[in-house]
Chain A
Amino acid sequence: MAVDIAPVPVAARPAPKPAAFRRTSPTATVLLLLGAAYCLLPVLWVLVASTKSASELFNTFTFMPSTHLFDNIAFLSSYRDGLYWRWMVNSAVFAGGGAAVSTLVSAMAGFALAKYTFRGKSLVFNLVLAGVLVPAVILAVPQYLLLAKVGMTNTYWAVLLPSFISPYGIYLCRIFAAATVPNEVLEAARMDGANDWRAFVRVALPMMRSGLVTVFLFQFVAIWNNYMLPFIMLGDDKLFPVTVGLSGLLNQGATQPAMYTSVVTGAFLSIIPLVVLFLTLQRYWRVDLGAGAVKA
């Protein structure tokens, strides 16, 4: 096919501008604003609700803000000696560590699949695809049973190790390596006496950089959002990520309604880091899932 699309970054056309000669459409504006309102509504609610005291939460108008945000944060922070902040740190360790290692592992594997011919290449590639089609979360229970055999459940490693492998990350890295690292450049590096590893680290990795940021973000979000794996693997609530911790707090709320305020405040605080990450790195969210298919 003639359309040759590099998966990242796509810069075929500049962002659309409502130029003077093209009329703006009120229908388009209204539809987009409705979509935005639907998506912002729960986020606005949690912002407002986290300012309410326990007695106000269920008894004042939904979107009427109050003045108790800092009281709520202080109360949440004092809960079992700052357990909530441990959960946030755990989430950062799981997502940051898991995404960093899995990006490197994926980059190496993707580079090998894109730039070498070797025996067993199709087998490896088909394994990667099978891995994409059968998501790891379905394997969480068998993973738990296996890790229990070697006594590794209820440790950081129980959540980190399964996060290190990402078939989808390998798949993406293979596309990035094929699209952004020319063979001639690798050959030139070899002429200069670089071995394969140096060529990969010094030449290929820098060229794949923006694609690797995308893979890192993908994995980071996937691990940060994961619930089932840590929920199954961890028994000690000091090791919980924030998702598992907060859903446990919500369970307690059923018997102690005062906990609901902490749940809401905790939910609000927990989405701030990811929202900031998204807004600052928005330009890397341009992955073209169809690129592998369009490239003939």
Chain B
Amino acid sequence: MKTKGAPYAFLAPALVLFAAFLAAPIVYAGYLSLRRVKVSGLGLGAGARTEVWAGLGNYARSLTDPEFVPSVLRVGAYGLIVVPVMLGLALVMALLLDAGRTRVGTFARTSIFLPYAVPAVIASLLWGFLYLPRVSPIVDVLDRVGITAPDALSSSWVLYAVANIAVWGGTGFNMIVLYTALRAIPTDLFEAARIDGASDIQIALRIKIPVIGPSLVMTFLFSLIATLQVFAEPMTLRPLSNTISTTWTPLMKVYRDAFVRNDIYSAAATSVIIAAATFVISYGFLKLVGSRAFSQEN
């Protein structure tokens, strides 16, 4: 195609929206994170409160906030549970479906994918009720055999309770992605191995998993990014549990600083830190695995 301005015309809407809703907020957050309100006198009357440069004061305050570091560690622990469990389950289910040694494939695939249609808020609501001892069928069953089940929303279990919701919601989608990749492997890649007597498990470990490596990398990356921004699940569970604080995750702290404490400068600094950390972690991960994902094909 030759018309000179054409590619720019096609890109224009995307670029305008990108500038307004992704680039501008980052720049504005960066600007706010370096500002603070200076109160002169009693802080009364016009001009008593003025915005001045704050240097890196907001960043120092964010990083040394006694609630910030625990929220980061909590999300780290949460990610260490969610990502391996969710992707492990997704991979096992995808391999089982792909091996084709069952008659319940379609039913299982549809059922496991179903939670993707349930928003995180609704999923948290459903599980939240199921965690309540008066509703939970698990507590009910354990009660009958004389075991007192632990309260899933108590402080020692709540991290697992939230992680379970994420695993429930995300396994199916990742399973479908991996299954799609598995279906695209040409049969002749492993038919020879099968004739030589290799078992399904050997074929899965030696041939299928290495071939779908790029898809595994991408599902890992997107799961990682989703984990770092956990917000809806703990926010929804809060009314059902008094063990989830208002700063339980870093994004919850941003919300509290901005809207409960009206400290938009500190919230902006924390937003910038989270955005930068997400970028560094995901970009670093891609470099680490040496993935050609996202490379330009031509």
Q: Using CB atoms and an 8 Å cutoff, list the residues of chain A in contact with chain B.
A: 3, 5, 10, 12-13, 15-18, 22-25, 28-29, 31-33, 35-36, 38-43, 45-46, 49, 57-59, 61-63, 105-106, 108-109, 111-113, 115-116, 118, 121-122, 124-125, 127, 129-139, 141-146, 161-162, 164-165, 167, 170-171, 178, 186-187, 190, 195-197, 199-200, 221, 224-225, 227-228, 231-232, 243-244, 246-247, 250-251, 253-254, 260, 263-264, 267, 270-271, 274-275, 277-279, 282, 285-296
Contact = CB atoms under 8 A, between A and B. Distances in A.
Majority secondary structure, A binding face: helix
A165 B17 contact: yes
A137 B97 CA distance: 34
A285 B173 CA distance: 9
The 10 closest A-B pairs by CB, nearest first: A16-B100, A290-B214, A290-B215, A142-B25, A293-B214, A289-B218, A36-B111, A112-B10, A293-B293, A109-B14
A228 B184 contact: no
Contact of B93 (A35, A129, A146, A290): A35
B160 interface: no
Interface residues on B, range: 35 or more
A161 to B, nearest CB: 6
A57 B135 CA distance: 8
B113 A278 contact: yes
Contacts, number: 348
Interface string B229-273: 101100110011000000000010011001100001001100100
Interface in B104-134: 104-105, 107-108, 110-123, 125-130, 132, 134
Contacts of A231: 235
Interface string B202-220: 0000000001111111110
A4 B89 CA distance: 27
B180 interface: yes
A142 B278 contact: no
Interface stretch (B26-34, B42-50, B54-62, B145-153): B26-34
Name B's interface SS: helix
A165 B15 CA distance: 9
Given A111-B10, A145-B258, 19 more contacts: A10-B180, A16-B100, A25-B101, A35-B89, A36-B104, A105-B17, A113-B11, A130-B279, A133-B283, A145-B264, A196-B9, A228-B251, A228-B255, A246-B125, A247-B235, A271-B117, A288-B181, A292-B293, A296-B292
Contacts of B282: 133
B6 A18 contact: no
B101 A116 contact: no
15 contacts: A5-B181, A29-B104, A35-B93, A43-B118, A105-B14, A106-B14, A113-B11, A141-B258, A142-B32, A161-B21, A251-B239, A271-B117, A286-B180, A289-B219, A292-B297
